[in-house]
Amino acid sequence: MVAPLKRVVRSDLWIDGAFDECLAREKDVALRVFPVRGDDAGASEALAQAHVYHISAAKDELPQAWFARKALLDRCPNLMCVSAGGAGYDTVDVAACTAAGIAVVNQSGGNAVSVAEHTLGLMLGVSRRMLEGDRRMRREIGYAREDVMGHEISGKTIGLVGIGHIGTRVASLARAFGMKVLATDPLLSPEEIGRRGARPVQFDELLAQSDFVSLHCPRDASTLRMMNASAFSAMKRGAIFITTARGGIHDEAALVASLQSGHLAGAGVDVWDQEPPALNHPLLAMDNVFATFHVAGVTHEARRNMGLISARQIVGVLNGERPPRLINPEVWPEFERRRIRILG
């Protein structure tokens, strides 16, 4: 008896070839790729037949018509799983998926090494004033080296807001540089935070004691605009703010104001409200801001790893295995009932 065909659908936004190659080895899985622009009817038809929708997590690259929201889910009667291509899932309405009996998975941890390394790069770049030195060397002659003299990070304190896969890796790298590590994470016990390499503290204490505050938490209702004017003013004068998390967790206008006032010495910003930000964004005009375009997790190694774990997790889900990165665990009993009904 031939097993029923399991249909996986993704958009034509860039993904490492390891994803397609891995699924191609599964004899009962068919992958279909739809264009995000130019053929709405074809895209809708593909999604209407999908069992799994592997969705881009890039909210400013994927057109909103293809976000996994209720209107789209209502047109996909056989959809059992939405697989976000990154650690974030800004393009997915998790509550709507749960109500429809659809499992939501992400790829948390798949790019942890790359994001952690980028975090340290931002810290070093701002603290040692590397960008200022690079820019001045390209446009000036005769300035003194002491004009761009920075600070070592050894002996300084870093405060991690969130110590999951990425935060734990950052803690390890920071300790290797001789830094003291603090962390706050409402999802973990103080004992577990300690096991992950940091001293557990409350959020207010972390802001007050840290020379660097680095965000590694998800964007949700509890973290939106968490780093606001009050939070920035609670940081040590001369401290440096780093974020490789998600745009919207920090208030960009408040960060601009804190930098302009001189309260903060600098910032390393990889994530933005709008990505990429407008060329006239005030943060881009500041020499003490190291700005990157949501590329902390964009390395050859991380993208391949994300492609592989995405495909392998999808295959497991289609076979009825509980996925290791399930965002809405409460959906699982209904998912199992639907999987049996749809796939037999």
CA 32 to the chain's CA centroid: 26
Out of 129, 169, 216, 246, the active site residue is 246
Beta-carbon contacts of residue 71 (< 8 Å; ≥ 6 apart): none
If DSSP codes are grouped into helix, strand and coil, which group holds residue 66?
Answer: helix
Q: By the 8 A CB rule, do 340 and 48 touch?
A: no
Rounded to an integer, what distance in angstroms lies between the CA atom of residue 206 and that of residue 235?
A: 8
Q: Is 246 a catalytic residue?
A: yes
CA 49 to the chain's CA centroid: 29
Token pair of 325, please? 């990165």
Query: 178: how many CB neighbours lie within 10 A of its CB?
Result: 11
Q: What is the maximum span of the chain, computed from C-alpha positions, in angstroms?
A: 80
Out of 129, 294, 303, 338, the active site residue is 294
Please choose, from the candidates 249, 258, 269, the residue with its C-alpha nearest in 3D space to the C-alpha of residue 203: 249
Out of 61, 275, 334, 336, the active site residue is 275
Q: By the 8 A CB rule, do 92 and 104 touch?
A: yes
Q: Write out the catalytic residue numbers.
A: 246, 275, 294
